[in-house]
Amino acid sequence: MSMNATHVNTMIFSDDQLKAEAKMNELVSFLPERSIIKRTKDHVKTTIGTYRAKKYTEGCRGYRYQTVYIDKSLSVSSDVVNSILMKLRSPDFYGEPKNDNYNWKDHVHFF
């Protein structure tokens, strides 16, 4: 793993920071409160992983993630979607055993 990249388990991108944060809050609302270790307005660390919400910009390139949620408003540009997908990493990238049933499409969601 690159020392320059920040890893998060679940990344949420939108064209608006508040929409990204709202989606992140929706996702973590199903978790038990005791599983949340640390919370800021755009980042939640839990016992099962981390969530980060960002307005998509070219400067977002320093992140790597295993699951991504992409605002449908960003899907009008294939360059943006391709840039986001390039940072998606399978679990074996982080040393977990390779899973032959892994399908990256199961880890990309549009909202």
Q: Residue 31 class from Cβ within 10 Å (0-12 exposed, 13-18 middle, 19+ buried)?
A: middle
Local confidence band at 2 (pLDDT 50, 70, 90 cut-offs): very low
pLDDT at 1 over 80: no
Beta bridge partners of 13: 54, 70
- Summarised one tens digit per residue, pLDDT across range 24-79 is 999 999 999 999 999 999 999 999 899 999 999 877 767 889 999 999 999 888 89
106 contacts: CB under 8 Å, gap ≥ 6: none
CA distances from 40 to 2, 24, 56, 69 (A): 25, 11, 18, 19
